Structure 1
Amino acid sequence: MVRRVWIAFIALVVTLIVGTAGLMVTEHLSLARAIYLTVQTVTTVGFGDIEPQTDAGHIFLIFMMLSGVGVMLYFAGLLMAFLIEGQLAGVYWRRKMNKKIQQVQDHVIVCGAGRVGRQVVYRLRKEGAQCVVIEQKEDLANELIEEGFLVINSDATHDETLIMASIEKAKGLISALPEDALNVFVTLTAKGLNPNIQVVARMDHPESEKKLLRAGADKVISPATLSGWRMAMSMLKPISVEYLETVIHDHNIEIEMVELKIDEGSCLIGETLLTSGIKQQTGAMVLAILRGDQVISNPSAGDQLSQGDLLIVLGLRDQLHRLEKLAANLSNCKT
């Protein structure tokens, strides 16, 4: 609609310019009088205080009446529809949203808000992560806007769309589009615009995994594989799966799994899991230690922690908060 209004406005301006120039040539009027008579004609006011004196002027004004009045009515109709339908307000809110998107940083871009993408953005919101959604279908985009998400109603495969989503400042991108080829294209485009961005891509067909990894995806997820595994485990180990579902989905239980990196200066450097006090002081449980390419699963109490280690920790929310303070608090370091 906005584009149509602009086209009609440009056509009206061109009509006024042509009409003014034509009257100046045929009737030898001054610029001001030519503009005045042109506006009179296209607006159908017709005061009659200026009359054409030549046949050429009469003929020219006939064409002006037939074409100019039509352009003027078309523009007025579009403008009224634009205002009545509330699209002016929509433009205002889109500009406001675009300003907010330009200001975000360290956010996650989610491409596609279908069945998979919508669950992704809901989970990101629950975890307190800032996200920007790119969805091409207008109805889906409007639904998420009403729910308070930052949404760009456009095609995620276009460079300008990802740039509009501030991809240069984003920490990650999740491509949840319904076709593997589109996810490959988005991954290639995202890595080209921001080589350091972490990309998680959806795949439907197993043969697409290698293509997505070659395109630069850091992780490839198959919703069908995960759903199949969960259904099978629900049949074979129903109690275990029910417990996991309770932990994950029950809002009254705040058990979470986090990644904690041991940075330079941390009190945990050089300590073993036993002497670090992680279990004793926080109650959190270290499930694994990632050290470069090495993964130490179910570490023992004697495993020593080093700078740069990434701890996979499970615990209640307040336990994890205490662990973060323990890892960063220099005043508690042993001397």
Structure 2
Amino acid sequence: MTRQRASRAEDDDEAERRGSVLLPRLDISPLRQVVRRLLAALAVLWVTVLLVWLDREGYVDDVDDHVSFLDCVYYTTVTLSTTGYGDIAPGSDSARLVNALVITPLRVLFLIILIGTTLEALTDRTRQQWRLNRWRSALRDHTVVVGFGTKGRSAIQTLLSTGLTRDRVVVIDPHPQAVKAANAEGFAGVEGDGTRSQVLVRAEVQRAKQIVIAPQRDDTSVLVTLTARQLNPRIRIVAAVREEENAPLLRQSGADQVITSASAAGRLLGLAMLSPNASSVIEDLIQQGSGLDLKERPVTKAEAGRSPRECADLVVSVVRGHRILPFDDPEAATLQLTDRLVVIHHASRPSPETEERRGEFR
């Protein structure tokens, strides 16, 4: 019975640990922590010595009726350590007032610094809970990434290159090493199975703007998609699958976009064999932030009513409603203000919509 209770308690602790949110934190070496505490303790010590030295006339020494600087250091050390031999004591009203209002709080601070390791262990969970509550209250319209493998990391790097900040990304992964790696890079992480609604809720999927699903298995992608869509009907879901035959199932499950990783890599390999330069251009287009970028943007007011060929960027397609029209489609000959454009844009040049906003601001 005792073994069963111990095993059940270990299982509960493991489940609680695996479902918890880990926020990024600055790791400090133990030696550095000890040095910092010693310096803080010495600072408190010498501040107290200075206070006693400046008011030395108000102290009484039973040995020679004279308080020297060494006596001040001696009195400070025995006072802050709460030893208190009593051979040197405050005699005047000002000295007693300084002891009551200043030196006593410094004594408490000195003791706190000395036992800081113990207090830190006792208060670490409370501090973490306070950080977690503050993080939850401020988290809105963020991005959740399920799977911190090669695909998940690459997706995050692409999003960061477009202006997304690290504090707006939450990583979910069942492996503790992956979550620690995400923390080391500045992302909040949840260790757990993304198919479980409890894990997704801890990542605040119900308030997220978008979710990237990139696990190792296609069936996991389907289950995560179903769970995420149930928790947040308005969330944008982009999922990756290995096998192309599973892509329709993911779309039926609620994914807005499905990327087939295996076939996409195979097509790039084939293109590299047939046309090496073309494959280099494709690689540059999908790598955001450098060289040429393939991006989607709205039609600006200056572009409305014009032809796609008159745009500053090279227009590849025109998105009108739920249809994607090629740039040479007769229906896309005249751009509408409600259209969106898929364009090839140079990363070093400001986008037309940015220049339009600057013009309105001026």
TM-score (norm 2): 0.58
- Name the structure 2 match of 1:289: 318
Paired letter, 1:319? R
Sort the Cα spacing of 1:249 and 1:201 in 2 relative to 1 into closer, same or farther, 3 A: closer
Letter in 1 for 2:144: I
Bigger relative contact order (CA 8 A; separation at least 6): 2
Residue in structure 2 matched with residue 191 of structure 1 by the alignment: 229
Runs of at least 5 residues in structure 2 that lack an aligned partner in the other structure: 1-8, 14-116
Residue 311 (structure 2) aligns with: 278
State the SS of the aligned residue for 2:297.
strand
Whichever residue aligns with residue 278 of structure 1, its letter is C
Structure 1 residues 91 and 299: CA distance shift in structure 2, 3 A: farther
Do the aligned residues in 2 keep the contact of 1:260 with 1:324 (CA within 8 Å)?
A: no
For residues 91-113 of structure 1, give each alpha carbon's deviation from its aligned partner in whole angstroms, at most 9, with x where no partner exists.
Answer: 74575256335423222211111
Separation in 1 of the partners of 2:218 and 2:336? Answer: 40
Match of 2:345 among 315, 322, 331: 315
Q: Distance in 2 between matches of 1:248 and 1:131?
A: 21
1:142 to 180, 190, 198: 180
Secondary structure of 2:349's match?
Answer: helix
Q: Are 1:184 and 1:215, in contact at CA under 8 Å, matched by a contact in 2? A: yes
Letter in 1 for 2:316: L
> What's the CA shift for 1:220?
1.6
Q: Distance in 1 between matches of 2:185 and 2:160?
A: 11
Matched, 1:151 2:225: no
Unaligned runs of 5+ in 1: 8-81
Q: C-alpha displacement at 1:119, in angstroms?
A: 2.1
Q: C-alpha distance in 2, partners of 1:88/1:136?
A: 27
What root-mean-square deviation, in Å, do the aligned CA atoms of Structure 1 and Structure 2 show?
3.6
User: 1:231 is paired with a residue of what secondary structure?
Assistant: helix
Shift of 1:255: 2.4
- Which position in structure 2 is the counterpart of 1:304? 334
Q: Distance in 2 between matches of 1:312 and 1:119?
A: 21
Letter in 2 for 1:295: I
Q: Separation in 2 of the partners of 1:315 and 1:86?
A: 52
Deviating 4+ runs (over 6 angstroms) = 82-88
Residues 286 and 299 in structure 1, CA contact (< 8 A), matched pair in contact too = no
CA separation of 1:309 and 1:228: change in aligned 2, threshold 3 A: same
1:90 shift after superposition: 7.3
Residue pair 1:267, 1:327 contacting (<8 A) in 2 also: no
3-state DSSP class of the match of 1:224? Answer: helix
- Count of residue correspondences: 247
The 1:97/1:262 distance shift into structure 2, 3 A limit, reads farther
Distance 1:294 1:321 in 2: 24
Q: Name the CA distance, whole Å, in 1 between partners of 2:324 and 2:306.
A: 18
Tell me the distance in 2 between the aligned counterparts of 1:224 and 1:206: 8
Structure 2 matches for 1:318-333, cutoff 5 A? 318-326=348-356
Residue identity opposite 1:305 in structure 2: L
Q: Deviations over 1:84-142 (max 9, x none)?
A: 99797477457525633542322221111123222222222233223211112111101
For residues 174 and 250 of structure 1, do their structure 2 counterparts lie closer, same or farther at Cα, with a shift above 3 Å needed? closer
State, as a whole percentage, how many aligned pairs show the same letter.
24
Aligned partners of 2:284 and 2:292 also within 8 Å: no
Does residue 1:166 correspond to 2:196, yes or no? no
CA pair 259-114 structure 1, distance change in 2 beyond 3 A = same
Look up the SS of the partner of 1:207 in the other structure.
helix
1:261 to 286, 298, 304: 298
The verdict on how the C-alpha distance between 1:219 and 1:262 changes in structure 2, with shifts beyond 3 A counting, is: same
SS of match in other structure, 2:264: helix
Q: TM-score, normalised by structure 1?
A: 0.63
